[in-house]
Amino acid sequence: MFQNNPLLKQLKENLNKTTPRVEGIVKNTERGFGFLEIDSQNSYFIPPKNMKKVMHGDKVSALLKIENNREIVDPEKLIEPFLKRFVGRIQKKDNKLFIIPDYPFLKDLIIICYPKKNCINLFETGDWATAHLVKHKLNGSSIFCAELIEEIVKNNDPLTPWWVTLSRHKLDRKAPLIEKQDFILKDHFKRQDLTHLDFITIDNLHTKDIDDALFIQKTKNENFHLIVAIADPTSYIESGSKLDITASQRGFTNYLPGFNIPMLPKELSENICSLLPNERRPVLACSITITKDGNILNTVDFFLAWIVSKEKLSYEDVSNWIEKKNSWQPSKESIQNQILLLHQLCLSRIKWRKLNAVLFKDSLEYRFQFSETGIVKNVIIEKRRIAHKIIEESMIIANIVAANFLSKNLGFGIYNIHTGFDLINAEHTVSFLKSYNLNFTAKEIMTLRGFCNLRRVLNLLSDSYIDSRVRRYQSFGEFSITPGPHFALGFSEYATWTSPIRKYSDMINHRLLKSIIKKEPSIKPDEEIKLKISEQKRKNRISERNISDWLYTLLLQKKEYQNKKFSAEIIDISRSGIRAKIIENGAHVFIPALFLHPIREELILNQETGKAFINGNLHYKVSDVIQIILCEIRLKTRNIIARPDY
């Protein structure tokens, strides 16, 4: 009777106008209540009864009310759900399927609705699957409900960390398939025959996808003449072909702990295109002259060629031979001569970069070791040795000249750029350095020369804390279609082309370099492909980190690590505690504020300065190495909780 009453309708409209509403993101807590976070400064309490309507991460509109003299909010309208497509674990109860999303603050079971035929019989408790949220309580449903998309992996499968992570980020599990036409060399442009030269490759012992080979000799005036030969997959893969589109979507070979997922089919990347020893291969090559002082001369030539790698060498053997650490010897004098000359070139370039560009410090790398069944057994430290630096310096030379060549001939390509500091962060950096009697101006460090000078001063100072704070103000590296400086390397421009088997951006640059060589029209890359490559790179990095975190929790829950003391470097300080990296194995741990000092009011954790004070006294700062003991391994969230060992 009252349903269409105009007075009642008007009353409701007036109430809606006068009742204040707020929009924000729902934040859950361990104790059932939550908060609606409006911005970094403002949030409102959500009582447990109202939290039952929403999930952590939902963006909602809520009514602002007063209950018991306290401001609370009651979620009213869903603006954007946190859960859409998600990964979770199956639970089976009373012949029904449920799924628990794999997120720290989402612990409630979500019922699976509309399951496919025989779906219940396909799944068991603990299995992993992807699902899509289809019903939300704020949209008029009495329950949260999801539809299954696909099974990921069975419970307790050793490969669970990999398959779950790759499914979460929509990344491929396997190498792409190859078709018959992909075996055929399609580029019949005349190539120089360099098969008589003693090209060598230096890589990891078990590497099969070999991108680069090197040949070096001395000129009459004692300069170095270096030929860098790079595998040529674009001679097999036509632009716009099915395989080319697949490679562009993948962007990179995805390097993960234990194995990698190739960008190209293995038959191409590990056989047909790979610069395997004693095999005739087509290459894109570059001839470069470098003075004995390490300066790159302008006499650069790009060309297509045939080569035969005379020997596949390993980083370990070459480093041991140079450092005189074991009995390994090059197979013949000509190979020995190549190693010696490449070593000389490397040392001259390191010296040149130290004086004229930016020389980055060596850092520790960590590698997981696995059993035959895929169970993580240990983590070992791998240091960059002299053979790694030989290849690194040669590839840097090649990428510098490629950037210059593209800029002069086309004015575009896929460039790696790094802009150093923006104005605000440059001013923050200058202010910070002044407190340590290091005097720079913002204008100075925003130039390439000034930035390089700053990095050289910091390298000489060798203060890890100051270095970490300055790096915090620096910008991130990115891709650009037009030339630009790379401050972090210290070069006016930089474009990679030396890994076309593993990077689609390098395939693009290959095609551009070849268009110049052949005097054919060049197609400028568009913003869309640049953004796609950048996004894929980000997803690959996140997936590698997620899998590593998972593997560390599996490893460190073992009995031998309980109550064991570790040395750990503090890498970040926030309001909630300290993040640190265990030096022995690279695992990241979190030390809650409560474990630092029991009286919270006496503890100040300053993220901006990277320092922690207790009763006004400095106790911890970023870059400090402290002793810790592991307290708790949280497998569900892949977090490792530690405390200082006093």
Active site (catalytic) residues = 203, 209, 211-212, 315, 502
Give the pair of three-digit tokens for residue 302: 């790009």
Nearest to 175 by CA among 257, 275, 243: 243
At 157 the three-state DSSP class reads coil
Q: Which residue has the tokens 């078709």?
A: 179
What is the Cα–Cα distance from 29 to 11, expressed in whole angstroms?
Answer: 37
- Are 568 and 642 in contact by the 8 Å Cβ rule? The answer is yes
What is the Cα–Cα distance from 331 to 311, expressed in whole angstroms?
Answer: 9
| CA-to-CA dists, residue 89 to 100, 109, 559, angstroms | 5, 10, 26
Beta strands, E only, 232-300: 254-256, 259-261, 280-290
φ, ψ dihedrals at 189, nearest 5°: -65, 145
What is the Cα–Cα distance from 486 to 466, expressed in whole angstroms?
Answer: 22
What is the Cα–Cα distance from 20 to 567, expressed in whole angstroms?
Answer: 53
Contacts of 164 (CB under 8 A, 6+ apart): 87, 102, 128, 152, 153
Give the pair of three-digit tokens for residue 603: 């503890």
Helix (H) or strand (E) holding 627: strand 625-634
At 73 the three-state DSSP class reads strand
Task: Please give the torsion angle defined by the CA atoms of residues 525, 526, 529 and 535, in that order, rounded to the nearest 10 degrees.
Answer: 120
CB atoms within 10 A of CB 645: 13
Q: Which residue has the tokens 């497509």?
A: 85
What is the Cα–Cα distance from 544 to 112, expressed in whole angstroms?
Answer: 30
Phi-psi region of 616 (alpha: psi -120 to 50; beta: other; left: phi over 0): left
Q: How many CA atoms lie within 13 A of 466 on its CB side?
A: 18
Q: Tell me, what amino acid is at 179?
A: E
- Are 374 and 385 in contact by the 8 Å Cβ rule? The answer is no
Contacts of 334 (CB under 8 A, 6+ apart): 198, 310
The length of the chain in residues reads 646
What is the Cα–Cα distance from 318 to 328, expressed in whole angstroms?
Answer: 8
φ, ψ dihedrals at 465, nearest 5°: -65, -50
Give the pair of three-digit tokens for residue 591: 């030390």
